[in-house]
């Protein structure tokens, strides 16, 4: 397996540091628009693990140009293209991988477009629609595009498949629930606003109308931050208020898993929601470039890109961050014995541990872990397929077994949890 990694930001850097401990691949080409950043990632791998015998190379790539993606993939004989950049680049990387005859993986899918007249009730272009529309091309080429294979989406979708196959005879709701108790402080010890993930992506998914899926109704939307609820997260995180957010799980899970309702709720917190609302009020969430005066004359810049540039790079905040993040899936319905059942399947990532072990902050590390596991299953032939498929299309048991198996025994040493909860009365 020869992997072209597109993007050496926080998640791409963590991906390289995780996969460096594995031996199932022949080559990882770490590529970025800023080749220096790709070179820093390769240097970090070699500093921790020693000379890699050519297993890691750095390259420059233009993710906005499918021809550039295809050319770099062909130059290095890539069998798989791993997309680790912002979702606005999905269409071009997706196209470039297919042109190069390579399989493809991403952790976020092609962007949505709100309904033109009724955005908070009706869906317009949904997340991933553009990719699924091209499924016949991938099938005809005999190539696989494994989409939404991060942590959320990704591991949450693996949990959905596992719950349907092993825990439930009938599912009422598949509810992805994400929460954390992370805190970032400045050099003086004061808590600061510093998102642990790409603010560009966070703005996109939090300010767009959230999508819900229900049996009989299909996909529909609600206003941003709708249906607040307090969800109790394990391992000391505790209660966090969560709200509806647009996310890929809701667009992926119903395609392969039977459920009466599918939702995604994110624990943003009052301050974060306030910041996002203010950005929207001021138009700073826009991706349309505006003309700005500068010392060198007028320039055009997208307000959202300016916000991203003004905030700390998520890849750099690890040393100043404390706490844990939890990604998981809350499932309700009837167990295999026919009795009401409610469980929370989850994985917790501790920033102190990920920084010590991988020099990567916990949110980007947790995201990057899952595509590495998926690639190892693909390399072994345990997972296989053609077309455009989500994680739910594959057997979840090998993934979760490899994930939890101790590193000394060839696994990843990442235990996942299954928490039984008192089932509520069924409606």
How large is the average pLDDT for residues 2-20?
Answer: 97
What is the SS3 assignment for 9? coil
For the cut 70, the answer to whether the pLDDT of residue 168 exceeds it is yes
Query: What would the two tokens of residue 272 be?
Result: 């974060």
Rounded to the nearest integer, the mean pLDDT of the chain is 94
Question: E strands along 271-406, which residues?
Answer: 290-292, 299-301, 321-322, 324-335, 340-350, 387-389
- Spatial separation of the C-alpha atoms in residues 51 and 43, rounded to whole Å: 9
Question: Does a cis peptide bond (omega within 30 degrees of 0) precede residue 53?
Answer: no
How large is the average pLDDT for residues 120-146?
Answer: 97
How large is the average pLDDT for residues 14-25?
Answer: 97
Q: How confident is the model at residue 184 (pLDDT cuts 50, 70, 90)?
A: confident
Which part of the chain is CATH 3.40.50.720? 2-148+367-409
Which part of the chain is CATH 3.30.360.10? 155-365+415-421
pLDDT digits (tens, 9 = 90+) for 346-386: 999 999 999 999 999 999 999 999 999 999 999 999 999 99
pLDDT digits (tens, 9 = 90+) for 283-324: 888 889 988 887 778 888 888 888 888 887 777 877 888 999
Which tops the pLDDT comparison, 335 or 302?
Answer: 335
Which CATH superfamily groups domain 155-365+415-421?
Answer: Dihydrodipicolinate Reductase; domain 2 (3.30.360.10)
Whether 273 and 258 have beta carbons less than 8 Å apart is answered as no
Query: What would the two tokens of residue 96 be?
Result: 């470039």
For the cut 90, the answer to whether the pLDDT of residue 243 exceeds it is yes
- How far, in Å, are 20, 23, 43, 248, 368 from residue 47 at the CA level? 11, 18, 6, 36, 20
Query: What would the two tokens of residue 215 be?
Result: 């049996």
Whether 225 and 243 have beta carbons less than 8 Å apart is answered as yes
- Spatial separation of the C-alpha atoms in residues 368 and 108, rounded to whole Å: 12
Give residue 218's pLDDT: 97
What is the SS3 assignment for 72? helix
- How far, in Å, are 110, 203, 267, 311, 312 from residue 307 at the CA level? 22, 10, 21, 6, 10
Q: Which helix (H) or strand (E) holds 179?
A: strand 168-180
| CATH fold of 2-148+367-409 | Rossmann fold (3.40.50)
């Amino acid at each position: 397996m020869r992997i072209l990694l597109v993007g050496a930001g926080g998640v791409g850097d963590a991906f390289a540091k995780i996969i460096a401990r594995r031996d199932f691949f022949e080559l990882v080409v770490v590529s970025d628009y800023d080749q220096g950043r790709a070179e820093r990632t390769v240097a970090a791998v070699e500093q921790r693990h020693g000379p890699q015998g050519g297993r890691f190379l750095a390259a420059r790539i233009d993710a906005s140009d499918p021809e550039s993606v295809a050319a770099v993939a062909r130059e290095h004989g890539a069998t798989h293209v791993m997309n680790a950049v912002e979702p606005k680049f999905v269409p071009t990387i997706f196209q470039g991988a297919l042109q190069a005859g390579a399989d493809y993986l991403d952790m976020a899918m092609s962007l949505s477009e709100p309904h033109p007249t009724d955005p908070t009730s009706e869906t317009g272009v949904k997340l991933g629609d553009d990719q699924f529309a091209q499924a016949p091309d991938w099938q005809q080429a005999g190539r696989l595009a494994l989409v939404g294979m991060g942590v959320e989406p990704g591991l949450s979708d693996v949990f959905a498949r596992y719950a349907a196959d092993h825990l439930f005879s009938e599912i009422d709701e598949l509810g992805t629930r994400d929460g954390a108790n992370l805190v970032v402080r400045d050099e003086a010890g004061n808590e600061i606003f510093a998102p642990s993930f790409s603010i560009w992506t966070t703005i996109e998914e939090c300010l767009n109308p959230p999508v819900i899926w229900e049996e009989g109704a299909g996909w529909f939307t609600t206003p941003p931050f709708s249906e607040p609820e307090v969800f109790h997260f394990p391992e000391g995180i505790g209660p966090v208020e969560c709200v509806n957010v647009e996310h890929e799980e809701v667009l992926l899970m119903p395609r392969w898993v039977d459920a009466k309702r599918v939702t995604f709720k994110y624990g943003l917190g009052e301050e974060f929601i306030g910041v996002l609302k203010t950005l929207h009020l001021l138009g700073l969430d826009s991706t349309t470039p505006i003309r700005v005066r500068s010392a060198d004359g007028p320039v055009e810049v997208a307000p959202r890109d300016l916000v991203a540039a003004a905030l700390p790079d998520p890849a750099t905040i690890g040393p100043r961050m404390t706490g844990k993040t939890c990604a998981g899936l809350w499932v309700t319905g009837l167990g295999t014995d026919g009795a009401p059942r409610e469980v929370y399947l989850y994985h917790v990532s501790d920033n102190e541990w990920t920084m010590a072990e991988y020099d990567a902050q916990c949110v980007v590390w947790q995201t990057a872990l899952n595509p590495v596991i998926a690639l190892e299953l693909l390399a072994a032939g345990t997972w296989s397929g053609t077309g455009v498929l989500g994680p739910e299309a594959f057997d979840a048991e090998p993934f979760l077994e490899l994930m939890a198996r101790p590193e000394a025994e060839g696994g990843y040493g990442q235990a996942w949890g299954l928490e039984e909860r008192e089932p509520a009365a069924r409606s």
